[in-house]
Amino acid sequence: MNLRLYLKEFERKFDMEKAVCNHGFFMMAPNVWDPKSKSLTRPLTLSNSSSVSVTISHPRTLSFLVIQVHGINNVSRVDEELILQQVGRMLRISAEDDRDVTEFQQLHEDAKKYGFGRIFRSPFLFEDMVKSILLSNMTWERTLGMASSLCLLQSKLADGTVSSQTNKKRKRVVKARKETSGNFPSAKEIASLDKDLINEHCKLGYRAKWIVKLAKMVESGKLNLEEMERRYMTAEEVSEKLNKLKGFGPFSTATVLMCIGYYHLVPSDTETLRLFREVHVNVECSKETLETAAQSFYDRFSPFQSLAYWFDLIQNYETKLGKLSELSQLDYKSVSGCSHMKQLKAD
């Protein structure tokens, strides 16, 4: 009992494999990439806040995406539109994204030859923001584990195994259950929790306090993600708001801006330093000067500096590891190039 939806909104040549497998986010739960079928499976959110598992594929013989919705044979028009919106956001399928790809590739001939220009992101900006925090000063293996734990916690919240209690005296609900991964928790779900409960299940440390505060600000309306997403705010205004929040230093802020569609800041960390020492050997830089040096080096691709940087980084990874799209999930933890650990400036 499965439902099939189709997304036909892209006009230019589209390569789903390259649109997905280009950033550490695609390796993080609840995303599951299948190297053999070249498909992406994960839960998406419906209008009643429940989740449904979907598999997204792009058969070579078709000019559109196929979205297989598992376990149901019908959805409302509202939910169908919501599913298509989430898929479109993840894969950056919009007229605006097509324009950005075209303009970037006009500046970067190698990226055009490779078919690079889209950076994978989450169905919602809140998930991107939390994952940016999880990347902060942490090994890649632990980051993967924390994302998985949050999805497992979400499944327990959904089935009532864990109660959403914000008061100090929590009522524990214990049920026999088979542990299955859920969706990535929403701002509403995280805002209903306290940091101790999150750490009990996910071991996020000080990050738990940061993401609870972030979620509460989103839920209260103090932080309007829709204004950011629709670019009602300038990049500078977004940066100013993020810089006031714990967890969003230069690296995380640049990552979030990139997810929104502002590509002018290079998300510099120790991987950037490694890349320059291995690939751009003629550029003099140190930990102290890297942020300025990296920004200056990629300024020739303005306003797509972060896209040019990620192109170089992906090429470097795949030279060493082979195509990221062909790695098994067991190999993800070895992709140290995605670790973002020991950031030059702690977020």
Q: What is the pLDDT of residues 9-59, one digit of tens each?
A: 665 578 999 999 999 999 999 999 999 999 999 999 999 999 999 999 999
In the listed set 221, 241, 260, which residue is the last one of a domain according to the structure? Answer: 260
Same domain, 255 and 133: yes
Say how many C-beta atoms besides its own lie within 10 A of residue 196's C-beta. Answer: 12
Q: What is the rounded average pLDDT for all residues in the chain?
A: 90
The more confidently predicted of residues 212 and 336 is 212
Same domain, 232 and 275: no
* Stretch 110-134: mean pLDDT: 97
pLDDT over 70 (residue 344) = no
Same domain, 219 and 316: no
Helix axes 95-107, 305-321, angle to 10 degrees: 80
Closest alpha carbon to 53 in 17, 27, 77, 29: 29
Closest alpha carbon to 229 in 341, 92, 111: 92
* 297-333 pLDDT tens trace: 999 999 999 999 999 999 999 999 999 999 999 999 8
- In order of 66, 226, 292, the CA distances from 98 in angstroms are 19, 21, 29
Distance in angstroms (rounded) separating the CA atoms of residues 123 and 51:
12
Same domain, 85 and 61: yes
* 236-270 pLDDT tens trace: 999 999 999 999 999 999 999 999 999 999 998 88
- Percentage of the chain lying above the pLDDT 70 cut: 90
Residue 172 forms part of a structural domain: no
- In order of 42, 43, 135, 229, 242, the CA distances from 184 in angstroms are 9, 8, 15, 19, 21
Number of H helices, E strands in the chain: 15, 5
Same domain, 135 and 252: yes
* Stretch 151-174: mean pLDDT: 73
Residue 118 forms part of a structural domain: no
Tell me what pLDDT residue 271 has: 84
Residue 115 forms part of a structural domain: no
Tell me what pLDDT residue 10 has: 60
Tell me what pLDDT residue 138 has: 84
Count the domains in the chain. Answer: 3
Q: Which of 135-139, 143-147, 184-188, 234-238 has the lowest mean pLDDT?
A: 135-139
For the chain, report the end-to-end CA distance as a whole number of angstroms. Answer: 46
Q: Which structural domain range is residue 84 located in?
A: 2-93
Tell me what pLDDT residue 76 has: 97
Tell me what pLDDT residue 347 has: 44
